[in-house]
Amino acid sequence: MLAVTVIAGILFTWCVLSRRLALWSVTAPIAMMVAGLALTSGSDPPLVFDLGDLAGFERSVEVVLALLLFVDATEVPSGVIRRERRVVARLLGLALPLTLAAAFLAALVFFPDRPGWVLAVLATVVVPLDLAPAAAVVRDRRIPARLREVLNVEGGLSDGIVSPVFLLCVAAAAQSHTPGDDYAEALLDAVGAAGWAVGAGAFVGWATGRVLRRSWARGWTLPAATRLAVLSVPIAAYTLSGALGGNGFVASFVAGVCVAPALRQLPEGTVTMTDDLVTLLTLGLWFLFGQLVGDEFWDGFHLSVVLYALLAVTLVRLVPVLLALVGTDLSLSDRLFLGWMGPRGVTSVVFGLLAAIELPAAGGGDFVSRVMVITVMVSIVLHGLSGEPVGRLYARHRRTAPEPRGAE
C-alpha cells in the first residue's frame, strides 16, 4: 500500500507543476519513470515490486494494453485519414512492414546467436510508436499541423496493426523451445486466436455503437452514462474474446475501430473517462519501467544492445519512411521529420513485458526485455532532446520561406 501512496503522491506533484515542467519537456511518463528509477534502484531500495505472480501480472498488463489500444483506435480523426489517405496508407502499408523487416535484419546482425523467432519478437517490440513521451512535439504549433495530424493517426493505428504480428511471433518463439517444434500448430492456434479476437471485437464495437447512437438520438441516456457505456466496450470485447479463445487486446482495438463512427455522433468528451483511466494505468507502468531501467543499469551495459537500440530508433524507421513517402507532395524536410519522430513508449514496454512472461528465460524472454528497456530509454533521450530544436527549425523555415504569389 505504501508503494501506491508514493506513486499517487508523485503523480499529484507532477499534476500541480505540469505547466512549469512542460517548459523542460518533462512529461508525466518521464516523471514517473525517473521516480521509479530513483525509488527502486540500489542494493536496498525504498520500494521493490515483486513480479512473482506472473499470471496475475500478465493479465493486468494485457488489460492496460487493451484499454490503450481501444482509446487509440477511437481517437484517430477520420477527417485526417480521408484527407491524408495517401500518406497514411504509405506509412502503415509500406513503411511499417519495411520497418519491421529492417528491425529483424538488424537484430540478425547484432545477435546472430539468438533464435530467429525470438529476433522476430524483438522486432515487433521495438517498432510500435507511442507519442506520449514526445507529447510536446505533437502540441508544438511551430510544426505544421498536417505533420502532427499524420503522426497522431500513425501512432493510433500502428500498435494495433503490429499486435497480431507480435502474437504470431511469440507463439512461434515459444513453440521453438518445447518438444516437437510443431510450428504449424502454434501458428494456426495464433491465427485462430486472432480471428476470434477480430470477430468478437467487431461484433461488440458494431453492436454497442449502434445502440449508443440510437439511445442518444432518442434522448434515452445522459452524457455521464455514455461515458460509462464507452468504458464498458473494451472490457466486453476483451472478456468475450478471451471466452472464445481469442486475444483480448486485439479485440479491444478492433472494437475501438468499429465503435468510433458512432462515438462521433455522441456528446463531446464521451471517451474522456476511458482516456483518463488509461492515462492513470499507463503511468503506473512507466513507474514500473523505471525499476526495469534500474535493474538493467545495475547489471551493466551490453554494447551490442545499445548499438541495436540506437539503430532501432533512428535508421530502422527513418529509411523505410523516406522510401515509402517518395512521390508524395511532402517536402524532404517533412519526410525527414516523419521518419525521425517515431518515439517508442508504453506499447513497447507492454510487448516486452509480455514477451518476458511468455518466453522462457533461456528462450529469449530476458533478452527481449533487456533490449526493450534500452531502446525505450534511447528513444526518450533522443526524441525528447530533439523536440525543441526541430520546432525552432520549422519556425525559422516559416519566417524565411518566400510568400506565395499573390499574397498581400
The CA–CA distances, whole Å, from 176 to 171, 261, 372 equal 9, 42, 21
Structure confidence at residue 402 (pLDDT) = 47
Question: Taking residues 34-49, what's their average pLDDT?
Answer: 77
What predicted TM-score, i.e. pTM, was given to this entire model? Answer: 0.85
Q: Please indicate whether residue 393 or residue 223 has the higher confidence score (pLDDT).
A: 223
φ, ψ for residue 236, nearest 5 deg: -65, -45
CA dist 382 and 318 (Å) reads 14
Q: Which tens digits make up the pLDDT trace of 166-215?
A: 988 888 888 776 555 555 666 677 777 788 889 999 999 999 999 999 99
Structure confidence at residue 405 (pLDDT) = 39
Structure confidence at residue 36 (pLDDT) = 83
Q: How far apart are the first and last CA of the chain?
A: 64
Handedness of CA 110, 116, 118, 122 (dihedral sign): positive
* Chain position carrying cell 507519442: 131
Share of the chain above pLDDT 70, in %: 87
Q: Which tens digits make up the pLDDT trace of 313-339?
A: 999 999 999 999 998 899 998 999 999
Contacts of 356 (CB under 8 A, 6+ apart): 365, 366, 368, 369
Q: Which tens digits make up the pLDDT trace of 378-393?
A: 998 888 777 778 878 8
Is the pLDDT assigned to residue 56 strictly greater than 90?
no
Is the pLDDT assigned to residue 363 strictly greater than 70?
no
Q: Which tens digits make up the pLDDT trace of 231-240?
A: 999 999 999 9
CA dist 230 and 211 (Å) reads 11
Band (pLDDT 50/70/90 cuts) for residue 404 is very low
**Is residue 167 within 8 Å of 198, Cβ to Cβ?**
no
Structure confidence at residue 406 (pLDDT) = 41
Structure confidence at residue 8 (pLDDT) = 83
Structure confidence at residue 395 (pLDDT) = 79
Is the pLDDT assigned to residue 53 strictly greater than 60?
no
Q: E-assigned strands of 243-318?
A: none
Average pLDDT, the chain: 84
Q: Which tens digits make up the pLDDT trace of 134-163?
A: 677 777 788 888 888 898 888 888 888 898
Q: Which tens digits make up the pLDDT trace of 255-273?
A: 999 999 999 889 888 999 9
Among 77-81, 243-247, 390-394, 397-401, whose mean pLDDT is lowest? 397-401
- Return the exposure string of 198-209: e unless at least 16 CB atoms fall within 10 Å of the residue's CB, then b: bbbbbbbbbebb
Structure confidence at residue 180 (pLDDT) = 53
* Chain position carrying cell 505547466: 19
Among 29-33, 280-284, 335-339, 366-370, whose mean pLDDT is lowest? 29-33
Is the pLDDT assigned to residue 99 strictly greater than 80?
yes
Is the pLDDT assigned to residue 83 strictly greater than 70?
yes
Structure confidence at residue 44 (pLDDT) = 73
Structure confidence at residue 231 (pLDDT) = 94
Is the pLDDT assigned to residue 91 strictly greater than 80?
yes
Structure confidence at residue 408 (pLDDT) = 34
CA dist 135 and 110 (Å) reads 31
Q: What is the dihedral of CA 11, 61, 148, 23, to 10 degrees?
A: 20
Is the pLDDT assigned to residue 362 strictly greater than 70?
no
